[in-house]
Amino acid sequence: MNILILGSGGREHALGWKLKQSKRCGKLFFGPGNGGTASIGENIAIDPETVNTKLVDQIDYFCRHNQVEMVVIGPEDPLAQGLADRLAQPGRYVFGPVKAAARLEGDKAWAKQLMRAASVPTAEARAFSDYDAAVTYIESRETSMVVKASGLAKGKGVSVCDSPAEALEAVKRIMKDREFGAAGDTVVIEEKLLGQELSVLALVDGRNIFVLDPAQDHKQVGEGDKGPNTGGMGAYSPTPLCDDELMTTIQREVLVPVVDALRRDDVVFQGVLYAGMMLTTGGPRVLEFNTRFGDPETQALMMRLRGDLLEIMIATCEGRLDEVDLSWDPRCCCCVVMASGGYPGAYAKGKPIAGLDEAAKLADVQVFHAGTKADKGQVLTAGGRVLNVCALGKDLQEAQRKANAACETIHFEGGFYRHDIGFRVMKA
Ligand code: AMP
Ligand code: GLY
């Protein structure tokens, strides 16, 4: 089966790497892909960021002429714009939820309403489309608050504010300065929760829910979780934060009610439902939903997944997840993101990357590319998050040590990474 993976990050490289191991995998295409995907498949000039008739026609044409029978949609923006709906046709599998289901990620105000109606534990929140009303509300409060643009903002739309003054500033940036455009027409203002964060990803075939092993992401740029939020600086799986009992609770209190609530409205969720959780002293609470594979959690999960990802994706699309055979390498995987100097602020591009071949020789190590570009036999940096260096180890300590050692072999000007991925659960 020929496969087209849409997207250009480490997630897409890792999904392609795993799909390629399937007996049934034929040709593998990436649109647009990156410098790493070019070495395991063919990159094509299709960028799914903006969904319009031209893009849909381009993908349709490509799939027809290359006998592509599976399209995997990696990122959230095309899903929220309904790309899965528009690509659906007989003889083609599309992995990723339809627009009405992807709204769980793309419209946080609506997702909050749905959670409230389904009694899903989440932070108390209010939504405002009127700037003055948001200001009045913040001025009536004395506590910390979290301010979120309701729409998609490339993971940058959330401000955790320790005072009303900071919250007012965040609302101004979103609603007045329109930093995220129309994604900030509505803001969600919610209580700040305390605790450890947990990423719970589940395959959903409309009816059956198959929960993947738990992971923890590290969003902040600096060691010790200091500094501004990023798209993710590293992740590891499994995490001791979540045992079977907690996973069962999250499945029962979060995933099942949400999938059921959608189905009551005739919305069939097929794809990955990802609950970003905060483990508070009062129990697990949802911070947000994503309707796709998480990045960089997916890189760590693909390293550990035993089973045929293509069969799993087909079963998801066909509503047969109950028949799927899936297990995990018991070892731990630590994924360390190597980023460009300056990220998440401004950074340079086009820096040559050295040492990739040496890193590839290390046992139990895989380097997935994110912001890279292949250029005349060289690999150049092309984004803020450049590489996702993954290593397996018998425990988190060993996995982290191996991932960091692999990072040591790789160099590009200005490059940096966090050495402490997993620190929140590691003994000093
Ligand atoms: P989100 O994109 O909604 O997951 O938010 C990004 C990050 O902001 C999360 O990973 C948390 O670190 C933080 N965050 C979001 N909502 C809250 C909340 N209610 N309380 C505390 N931190 C939050
Ligand atoms: N790892 C967070 C995300 O994919 O949004």
Domain of 11, CATH number, reads: 3.40.50.20
Give the tokens for residue 362. 């290390």
pLDDT of residue 279: 98
Which residues neighbour 417 within 8 Å (Cβ) at sequence distance 6 or greater? 233, 234, 336, 337, 338, 339, 389, 404, 407
Co-location of 401 and 281 in the same domain: no
Which of 328, 348, 371 is the last residue in one of the domains? 328
* Low pLDDT (below 50) residues in the chain: none
Q: Is 294 in the pocket of ligand 1 (CB under 6 A)?
A: no
> What is the per-residue pLDDT for 407?
98
**Residue 209, beta-bridge partner list:** 204
Mark which of 305, 328, 351 sits at the end of a domain.
328
Asked if residue 31 lies in contact with residue 6, where contact means CB atoms within 8 angstroms, the answer is yes
Distance 55 CA to ligand 1 centre (A): 33
Q: Is residue 106 part of a domain?
A: no
- 292, 275 contact by CB (below 8 A): no
Ligand 2 and 294: CB distance under 6 A: yes
Q: To test ligand 2's pocket by mutation, which of 11, 199, 201, 233 has the most ligand atoms within 8 angstroms of CB?
A: 199
What is the rounded CA–CA span in Å between residue 342 and residue 372?
Answer: 16
The DSSP annotation for 37-83 comes to GGGTSEE-S--TTS--HHHHHHHHHHHHHTTEEEEEE-SHHHHHTTH
Q: Are residues 205 and 322 in the same domain?
A: yes
Q: Indicate which residue's Cα is closest to atom 6 of ligand 1.
A: 158
Given this model, what pLDDT does residue 428 score?
A: 59
What is the structure's pLDDT at 427? 73
- Residue 360 belongs to some domain of the structure: yes
Residues 408 and 385 both lie in one domain? yes
The answer to whether residue 104 sits within a structural domain is: no
Domain stops at, among 77, 98, 119? 98
Task: Tell whether 62 and 23 lie within a shared domain.
Answer: yes
Determine phi and psi for 136, rounding to 5 degrees: -60, -40
- pLDDT attached to residue 232: 93
My answer on whether 74 and 138 are in the same domain is no
Q: Who contacts 427 (Cβ-Cβ below 8 Å, separation ≥6)? A: none
Q: What is the pLDDT of residue 274?
A: 98
Does the model's pTM come out above 0.85?
yes
Residue nearest to atom 4 of ligand 2 (CA): 294
Given the DSSP bridges, would you call strands 68-73 and 2-7 parallel, antiparallel or unpaired? parallel
Judgement on whether residues 226 and 318 belong to the same structural domain of the protein: yes
State phi, psi for 58 to the nearest 5 degrees.
-60, -45
Q: Please state, in angstroms and as integers, the Cα–Cα distance from residue 240 to each residue in 197, 245, 247, 329, 396, following that order.
A: 12, 12, 11, 15, 10
Residue 389 covered by a domain? yes
Q: What is the pLDDT of residue 218?
A: 96
C-beta of 297 in contact with ligand 1 (< 6 A): no
**CA atoms of 40 and 28, how far apart (whole Å):** 8
Residues 230 and 283 placed together within one structural domain of the fold: yes
In this structure, is residue 113 part of a structural domain? no
Question: In terms of domains, do 266 and 169 share one?
Answer: no
Q: Is residue 175 part of a domain?
A: yes
Contact between 292 and 274 (Cβ < 8 Å): yes
186 to 136, 139, 178, 249: CA distances (angstroms): 15, 18, 11, 31
318: left (phi over 0), alpha (psi -120 to 50) or beta: alpha
Identify the pLDDT of residue 316. Answer: 98
Are residues 211 and 273 both part of a single domain?
A: yes
Q: Is the CB of 197 under 6 A from ligand 1?
A: yes
In angstroms, rounded to a whole number, what is the distance separating the alpha carbons of residues 351 and 342? 14
Contact by Cβ (8 Å): 285, 193 = yes
Return the CATH number at 377.
3.90.600.10
What is the β-pairing status of strands 68-73 and 93-95? parallel
Q: Does one domain contain both 308 and 363?
A: no
Distance CA 125, CA 138 (A): 12
Residue 223 lies in a domain: yes
The boundaries of the domain holding residue 173 are 130-185
- Do residues 56 and 81 lie in contact, with contact meaning Cβ atoms separated by under 8 Å? no
Q: Look at residue 353 and give its three-state secondary structure.
A: coil
| 19 Cβ closer than 6 Å to some ligand 1 atom | no
**295 in contact with ligand 2, CB cutoff 6 A:** yes
Q: Read off the tokens for 76.
A: 């959230």
Residue from 236, 232, 237 nearest 417 by CA: 232
* CATH code, 174: 3.30.1490
Residues 389 and 270 in one domain: no
Domain count of the fold of the chain: 4
| Same domain, yes or no: 263 and 351 | no
Ordered strands of the 283-290 beta sheet: 209-211, 196-205, 270-280, 283-290
